[in-house]
Amino acid sequence: MLQINNVSKFYGDYIALDDISFSIPKGAVFGLLGPNGAGKTSLIRILNQIVLADKGKVLLDGEELNESHISQIGYLPEERGLYKSMKVGEQAMYLARLKGMSKEDAKEKLLVWFEKFGITDWWDKKIQELSKGMAQKVQFIVTVLHEPKLLIFDEPFSGFDPVNAELIANEILELKEKGATIIFSTHRMESVEKMCDYIVLIHKSKKILEGNLVELQKKYRTYLFEIGIKTEYGDKLKKELSLDYQIKDANFQTLHNDVRLMVQLKEAQSSEALLEKIKTLGSVTHFLEQIPTMNSIFMNAVSNQFVNN
Amino acid sequence: MEKLKLIIKREFLTKVRNKSFIILTFLSPFLVIGMGLLIAYLTKVNESSVKQIVIVDNSQLAISKDFISSETVQYINLTQVGLEQCKVLVEEDKYDGLLFLPSGYKNLRELSESIEFYSVDAPNLMLVKSIESKIANRLKFSHLEAIGIQQQIIKIASYQVSIHQINFSGGESSKLGSGIKIGLGMVAGYLIMMFIVVYGNSVMRSVIEEKTSRIIEVIISSVKPFQLLMGKIIGNALAGLLQFFIWGVLILVFSYAASFFLGIDFMTIQSNQIVDAKVSVSADNLNEIIMVVREILDLPLITMFFLFIFYFISGFFLYSSIYAAIGAAVDSETDTQQFMLPVVIPLILGVYVGFAAVISDPHGPVATTFSIIPFTSPIVMMMRIPFGVSWYEIVISMFVLVATFIGIVYVAAKIYKIGILMYGKKPSYKDLYKWLKY
């Protein structure tokens, strides 16, 4: 649905984006990840036509980005807010109409959303009379009101309280079901990895990794297993295991007061063999392959890139 | 275009619904009219308080004959009482002043240098001048009589000259008329300056508000920054024009009502407001009044009206785009100071040049130059127009102004575009220059 081809952006001598390419399939939840200052916001601003790319092209549904796409994109910026002294309803109408909705259409859809969030009686209140959480709901509604095909959330959960964050997350997933494509951009990688199907990692203006999240996790598999065993002979257990495997003490949480270890497998070694082995040494209460977090994948990829260069 | 309209509408309504706008719009005409009436009243009071001047004339020239009491000054001859006694009276504030002509002079020149005036407070300049000219006249007569010329002949040989000012388009003008021209020009130029400052600031505050409330990025994901900038400027300009319009209507209505109900002559009030209050219209000069009225009607009022709108809008575009760029560059209003000075200086300069140069010589080189320079032309040209400015000068001035505002809007829009997305560090002029190249 969205194709980004060799996009670069410069601010004077500073390179904000360096030859970035990737594509986002329709209906995907896509994570645009990277530390602060990596270039995520620059890229998103290009997608929203707030700034223009100095090089490269962006295609939306095969068509180069143009003004008609504005109404097809919903954008929740990281720096977000509303006119403080304007009334909620009036403001929502204004923002909706700037996205190209007609007066009647905007009003009708707004009432549906206001109903859904139970905020109908806020229509004539000023934003400054609302609490921060309330204002966030309004902000979310104006982002998605025009039913965009592409939704872009920059640091979506920063500033949202947990209740609202949950509410918003559910709404986003519902929009995905309805066919919207969603981009999350964040430096807090753990906050979105559960929701994303695809990710791109950007670091220092360059793309360093992209792909299906599960495949990436497989690729960056660590072969580390957490095991918990109930036994009276802890020392003997460790001794046995260290013959074949690399082990160290671990500190994950279990319900039992048992021996907890972290076992590093070599690629040739199978997890079944490990399980068989520990079964003979006590009763197994915990057996889990560690899934690499986005953080660790990121660290890994960055150091790999460093080695490769 | 649809979006631009939406933005203009929002900016306009936000401005117009603001309490301060409503108060200022509806209160100001009352203030102006009130001030006018107050000035008229104070002038009256001033005139009705009669000054009493005592004359002690030991000169044997019978000078007190020439001092005829008027509505404002009463002359009392107390030569019999003597100087010392009179001094005491004046010091005790029984009288306002004491004019003393000594005796024992060798000739009239010596007398002319030894006349004294005593008073508790320094006397007003006009009064002293009139006394001086009266005595000088008397001395001249005495001198001429002494060498044998009859008083009758001298009187016949004295002429009163009143110059009729005529320009080449055939209109005759009076001094009072040029007072009105100055007044009209001043009011127009000053209004433009005030509106540029007030509404320019309002554009700037609106930009800063969007930045600090962080709504700016939401908006510019829907519209181009340039559209937003234009919407803001046009919306505020319209609010300004609405304010002018309301004022115009209110002043007309109130003046008319006042003249109708109070029986005050409409023209007198108008000219009292516009012209210096000292210029009073007395019934004797009916001719002059008719002439002034004709002159006002002869003024290119409609041209002035359209030029006023043109110069207001163009000047406003020019300055408010700079104001907007400043607003975009900073994070809060307190940071704007360092950028404000270069904006305000040409405006103030315009008003001063207008006051100084246009009054003394409306078509002199200084006034002409400043009415071409785009940063001062909206003010200075408005002040010159009542005196009749040749059309090619107006065209040049308009052209330069429009060309400049297009250039400035272009540059300001660039700074604006970058600035609205920049938070944190307060930029320097160097940073602004860098933004232009992004």
ipTM: 0.81
Helix ranges restricted to H, B263-336: 266-274, 286-298, 301-329
Largest CA distance in chain B: 98
Residue A8's φ and ψ, nearest 5 degrees, are: -130, 150
CB atoms within 10 A of CB B206: 21
Residue B398's φ and ψ, nearest 5 degrees, are: -65, -45
> Which of A79, A105, A183, A185 would best serve as a mutation to test chain B binding (most B beta carbons within 10 A)?
A79
Domain end position, chosen among B151, B181, B207 = B151
- Nearest-CA distance from A211 to chain B in Å? 28
Instruction: For chain B, say whether A11 makes contact (Cβ under 8 Å).
Output: yes
Q: Please name the helix (run of DSSP H) or strand (run of DSSP E) that holds residue A153, with its range, or none.
A: strand A150-154
Check which CATH number belongs to the domain holding A241 and give it.
3.30.70
> Quick one: pLDDT at residue B105?
81
User: Is residue B57 included in any domain, yes or no?
Assistant: yes
Give me the mean pLDDT over the B116-122 stretch. Answer: 85
- pLDDT grade, residue A12 (50/70/90)? confident
Contact A58, A2 (CB under 8 A): yes
User: Is residue B36 included in any domain, yes or no?
Assistant: no
Instruction: For chain A, say whether B403 makes contact (Cβ under 8 Å).
Output: no
> Quick one: pLDDT at residue B278?
41
- Nearest-CA distance from B14 to chain A in Å? 8
Give the dihedral of Cα atoms A175, A177, A181, A186; nearest 10 deg: 70
Distances (CA, A) of B92 to A136, B95, B120, B122, B380: 80, 8, 9, 15, 51
User: Is residue B163 included in any domain, yes or no?
Assistant: no
Give me the mean pLDDT over the A142-162 stretch. Answer: 88
Contact A196, A294 (CB under 8 A): no
Residues B249 and B326 in one domain: yes
User: Is residue A280 included in any domain, yes or no?
Assistant: yes
Residues of B in contact with A75 (CB under 8 A): 217-218, 221
CB atoms within 10 A of CB B245: 11
Instruction: For chain B, say whether A8 makes contact (Cβ under 8 Å).
Output: no
Residues B147 and B200 in one domain: no
Looking at mean pLDDT, say which of A246-255, A278-287, B167-176, B189-198 comes out highest: B189-198
Q: Tell me the count of A-B CB pairs closer than 8 A.
A: 62
Residues B147 and B179 in one domain: no
Contact B79, B55 (CB under 8 A): yes
Domain end position, chosen among A183, A200, A218 = A218
Closest of A159, A140, A145, A52 to residue A101, by C-alpha? A145
Give me the mean pLDDT over the B75-103 stretch. Answer: 85
User: Is residue A296 included in any domain, yes or no?
Assistant: no
pTM: 0.76
Q: Would you call A146 exposed, middle or buried from its count of C-beta atoms within 10 A (0-12, 13-18, 19+)?
A: buried
How many domains is chain A partitioned into structurally?
2
CB pair distance less than 8 Å for A12 and B10: no
Residues A86 and A188 in one domain: yes
User: Is residue B167 included in any domain, yes or no?
Assistant: no
Measured N-to-C along each axis, helices B391-419 and B225-262 cross at an angle, to the nearest 10 degrees, of: 130
Report CA Rg, chain A.
24
| Statement: residue B266 has pLDDT above 50 | no
Distance of alpha carbon B438 from alpha carbon A54, whole angstroms: 10
Residue whose tokens read 């103030």: B348
Distance of alpha carbon B395 from alpha carbon B393, whole angstroms: 5
Give me the mean pLDDT over the A39-49 stretch. Answer: 91
CB pair distance less than 8 Å for A83 and B421: no
> What is the b/e burial string over B112-124, where b = at least 16 CB atoms within 10 angstroms of the residue's CB?
eeebeebbeeebe
Domain that holds residue B181: 173-436
CB pair distance less than 8 Å for A80 and B10: no
Closest residue of A to B206, CA-based? Answer: A83
Instruction: For chain B, say whether A301 makes contact (Cβ under 8 Å).
Output: no
Closest of B251, B236, B163 to residue B199, by C-alpha? B236
Six token digits for residue A114: 């206001």
What are the pLDDT digits (tens) for A182-206?
999 988 877 777 788 898 999 888 9
Six token digits for residue B45: 């009071």
Six token digits for residue B427: 């930029």
Distance of alpha carbon A217 from alpha carbon A214, whole angstroms: 5
User: Is residue A304 included in any domain, yes or no?
Assistant: no
Residues B327 and B225 in one domain: yes
Distance of alpha carbon A159 from alpha carbon A31, whole angstroms: 19
Query: In the Cβ-directed half-sphere of B252, how many Cα atoms lie within 13 Å?
Result: 6
Residues A134 and A84 in one domain: yes
Residues A144 and A260 in one domain: no
CB pair distance less than 8 Å for B6 and A97: yes
Residues A92 and A27 in one domain: yes
> Quick one: pLDDT at residue B87?
86
User: Is residue A300 included in any domain, yes or no?
Assistant: no
Instruction: For chain B, say whether A94 makes contact (Cβ under 8 Å).
Output: yes
Q: Which of residues 7-36 of B touch A (CB under 8 A)?
A: 7, 10, 14
User: Is residue B23 included in any domain, yes or no?
Assistant: no
> Quick one: pLDDT at residue B276?
42
Compare CB distances from A77 to B10, B213, B218 and report the shortest one's residue.
B218
How many domains is chain B partitioned into structurally?
2
Residues of B in contact with A97 (CB under 8 A): 6
Contact B242, B326 (CB under 8 A): no
Helix ranges restricted to H, chain A: 40-47, 88-98, 103-117, 132-144, 162-177, 213-219, 234-244, 271-279, 294-308
User: Is residue A305 included in any domain, yes or no?
Assistant: no
Residues B123 and B192 in one domain: no
Residues A133 and A163 in one domain: yes
The secondary structure of A105-133 as a DSSP string is HHHHHHHHHHHHHT-GGGTTSBGGGS-HH
Q: Of A14-18, B147-151, B265-269, B283-287, which range is least confident?
A: B265-269
Closest residue of B to A12, CA-based? Answer: B438
Residues B62 and B193 in one domain: no
Domain that holds residue A240: 222-289
Residues A120 and A241 in one domain: no
Residues B325 and B376 in one domain: yes
Residues B266 and B407 in one domain: yes
Residues A193 and A231 in one domain: no
- pLDDT grade, residue B270 (50/70/90)? very low
User: Is residue A140 included in any domain, yes or no?
Assistant: yes
Six token digits for residue A32: 């645009």
The whole-angstrom distance between residue A25's C-alpha and the CA centroid of its chain comes to 15
Residues A172 and A237 in one domain: no
Check which CATH number belongs to the domain holding B107 and give it.
3.40.190.10
- Nearest-CA distance from A253 to chain B in Å? 42
Distance of alpha carbon A181 from alpha carbon A169, whole angstroms: 14
Residues B203 and B311 in one domain: yes
Residues B280 and B405 in one domain: yes
The size of chain B, in residues, is 438
CB atoms within 10 A of CB B74: 16
Contacts of B192 (CB under 8 A, 6+ apart): B308, B311, B312, B315, B378, B379, B382
3-state secondary structure of A79: coil
Residue whose tokens read 């046995």: A240
> Quick one: pLDDT at residue A307?
60
Residues A135 and A103 in one domain: yes
User: Is residue B182 included in any domain, yes or no?
Assistant: yes
> Quick one: pLDDT at residue B293?
67
Give the dihedral of Cα atoms A9, A14, A16, A17; nearest 10 deg: 60
> Which of A83, A105, A150 would best serve as a mutation to test chain B binding (most B beta carbons within 10 A)?
A83
User: Is residue A277 included in any domain, yes or no?
Assistant: yes
User: Is residue B168 included in any domain, yes or no?
Assistant: no
Closest residue of A to B4, CA-based? Answer: A98
Residues above pLDDT 90, as percent of chain B: 21
Residues A84 and A44 in one domain: yes
Residues B372 and B244 in one domain: yes
Residues A116 and A151 in one domain: yes
User: Is residue A16 included in any domain, yes or no?
Assistant: yes
> Quick one: pLDDT at residue B280?
45
Check which CATH number belongs to the domain holding A59 and give it.
3.40.50.300
Contact A24, A181 (CB under 8 A): yes
Instruction: For chain B, say whether A99 makes contact (Cβ under 8 Å).
Output: yes
Give me the mean pLDDT over the B13-36 stretch. Answer: 85
Distance of alpha carbon B242 from alpha carbon B16, whole angstroms: 9
Residues B113 and B207 in one domain: no
